[in-house]
Amino acid sequence: MDKLAIVVPCYNEEEVLKLASEALRDVLADLVQKGKIAGDSFILFVNDGSKDRTWELIEEEHAAYPVQVSGVKLAGNVGHQFALTAGLITAKDMCDVTISIDADLQDDVAVIEEMIDKFHEGNDIVYGVRRERKTDTFFKRTTAQAFYRLMGLMGVKTVYNHADFRLMSRRAVEEFSKYRETNLFLRGMMPLIGYQTDNVYYDRKERAAGESKYPLKKMLALAFNGISSFSVKPISLILGLGLLIIFCSVLALIYALLSYFTGHVVPGWTSLILSIWFLGGLQLLAIGLVGQYIGKIYIEVKQRPRYNIEKILHKGNNSDEERTTADEE
Ligand code: UDP
Ligand code: MG
């Protein structure tokens, strides 16, 4: 029987944690009862350096349900993508299959069963895909759609309308853990792993409690990271733009020479000043973009550990003591 670990990154989720734990425990109990997963399947809450009582609540849940609820405490806030990675890599040695889901219960826990079925059909990755975005604001919906389109144009393979609600087999996580990059964009990395994959569809709900931990700033950062971590197209765009502008300036030069030899007055300084500003701006833009890549190289070559697990609460088959580790993974 396959042992399932449900990995839940949590940042300041005290309002919703107990609800999430209850809902997910119900799902586990149901699946165990139907004989689809092993009896010691569990939920792994990853506390991403929360400033509220999230970790205390995870400890309470673990005390009350030692088999079903485990916890990982990261030493500080590393962000959703890293927290999830920490959870998945920690979970992979304790289980046969993982499912990642947000703590806020926006993703429909009812399709977890369908994911497990698809896993048993031989899929190594099963993507949870949102059917509609009714519950999102108009702004979030349009920006998200523009983002997926832009990603496509930039040549990054992603699963449309899939966030990080996803089943991964143990060997898929194993493979994923070999990707050593620090600029993480999980959605873009999963298709690179390969293996047989499938989708399940669901409607995304409102947050069960609390408010979004993804303000516009973090969303934009995620989008930019997604594109710049996977594509060098922006650089070729700069090249193309540069060529175009050189071509235009040659035309302008010819025009200037012609007007000079035909005795016309030299054009006023307006056009001159405009072109100085335009080119100046363009150069700054180009340098800035190139700089982004250099910045990434800089960060990658440092090879810093991507997270730091402070404590693991887990009651497995053979051990029920707390593990305390200070190292990555
Ligand atoms: N999250 C995290 N670290 C952060 C920000 C968010 O672990 O720095 C978690 C959060 O607790 C939640 C998930 O990432 O489980 C998604 O965040 P949220 O629901 O706020 O994002 P939204 O659904 O609004 O895009
Ligand atoms: Mg959410």
**For ligand 1, mutation pick of 44, 50, 213, 222 (most atoms within 8 Å of CB):** 213
Kindly state the average pLDDT of the residues 277-291.
79
Whether the predicted pLDDT of 273 surpasses 50: yes
Number of H helices, E strands in the chain: 10, 8
Distance from Cα 21 to the centre of ligand 2, integer Å: 16
Q: What is the reported pLDDT for 255?
A: 78
Distance from Cα 101 to the centre of ligand 2, integer Å: 10
The dihedral through the CA atoms of 76, 78, 80, 84 has a sign that is: negative
How many other CB atoms are found less than 10 A from the CB of residue 53?
A: 15
C-alpha separations of 247 from 52, 243, 253, 258 in Å: 58, 6, 10, 17
Is the CB of 15 within 6 Å of ligand 1? no
Among protein residues, the one whose CA lies closest to atom 7 of ligand 1: 80
Q: What is the reported pLDDT for 267?
A: 65
Q: What is the pLDDT of residues 170-180, one digit of tens each?
A: 999 998 888 88
Q: Which residues surround ligand 2, an ion (CB under 5 A)?
A: 102, 104, 106
Q: What is the reported pLDDT for 137?
A: 77
Kindly state the average pLDDT of the residues 109-134.
91
Whether the predicted pLDDT of 325 surpasses 50: no
What is the C-alpha to C-alpha distance for residues 87 and 94, in angstroms, rounded to an integer? 11
Looking at the CA of residue 211, tell me the nearest atom of ligand 1: 20
Q: What is the reported pLDDT for 154?
A: 80
Distance from Cα 106 to the centre of ligand 2, integer Å: 6
Distance from Cα 102 to the centre of ligand 2, integer Å: 6
pLDDT bin (cut points 50, 70, 90) of residue 304 is low
Compare 157 and 123 and report the one with higher pLDDT: 123
Is the CB of 77 within 6 Å of ligand 1? yes
Distance from Cα 14 to the centre of ligand 1, integer Å: 13
Looking at the CA of residue 102, tell me the nearest atom of ligand 1: 15
Among 14-23, 174-183, 301-310, the range scoring the smallest mean pLDDT is 301-310
Looking at the CA of residue 77, tell me the nearest atom of ligand 1: 8
Compare 118 and 251 and report the one with higher pLDDT: 118
Is the CB of 83 within 6 Å of ligand 1? yes
Whether the predicted pLDDT of 266 surpasses 70: no
pLDDT bin (cut points 50, 70, 90) of residue 326 is very low
Distance from Cα 79 to the centre of ligand 1, integer Å: 8
Percent with pLDDT over 70 in the chain: 91
Among protein residues, the one whose CA lies closest to atom 12 of ligand 1: 102
Q: What is the reported pLDDT for 101?
A: 96
pLDDT bin (cut points 50, 70, 90) of residue 317 is low
C-alpha separations of 109 from 103, 284, 308 in Å: 11, 47, 29
Phi first, then psi: give them for residue 140, nearest 5 degrees: -65, -40
Among 82-96, 215-229, 310-324, the range scoring the smallest mean pLDDT is 310-324
Q: What is the reported pLDDT for 320?
A: 46
Is the CB of 45 within 6 Å of ligand 1? no
Q: What is the reported pLDDT for 90?
A: 94
Among 61-65, 168-172, 282-286, the range scoring the smallest mean pLDDT is 282-286
Is the CB of 61 within 6 Å of ligand 1? no
Whether the predicted pLDDT of 327 surpasses 90: no
Q: Which residue has the tokens 């349900």?
A: 65
Q: What is the reported pLDDT for 329?
A: 41
What is the C-alpha to C-alpha distance for residues 207 and 106, in angstroms, rounded to an integer? 5
Q: What is the reported pLDDT for 328?
A: 43
pTM: 0.78
Is the CB of 103 within 6 Å of ligand 1? yes
Compare 298 and 218 and report the one with higher pLDDT: 218
Q: What is the pLDDT of residues 18-61, one digit of tens each?
A: 999 999 999 999 999 999 999 999 999 999 999 999 999 999 99
Q: What is the pLDDT of residues 183-241, one digit of tens each?
A: 778 888 888 888 899 999 998 888 877 887 777 888 888 888 888 777 777 777 777 78
Q: Does residue 203 contact residue 132 with C-beta atoms inside 8 Å? A: yes
Among protein residues, the one whose CA lies closest to atom 13 of ligand 1: 102
Distance from Cα 207 to the centre of ligand 2, integer Å: 6
Q: What is the mean pLDDT of the chain?
A: 84
Distance from Cα 128 to the centre of ligand 2, integer Å: 14
Compare 54 and 272 and report the one with higher pLDDT: 54
Reduced to 3 states (helix: H, G, I; strand: E, B; else coil), residue 270 is: helix
Chain centroid offset of residue 19 CA = 24
Ligand nearest to the CA of 144: 1
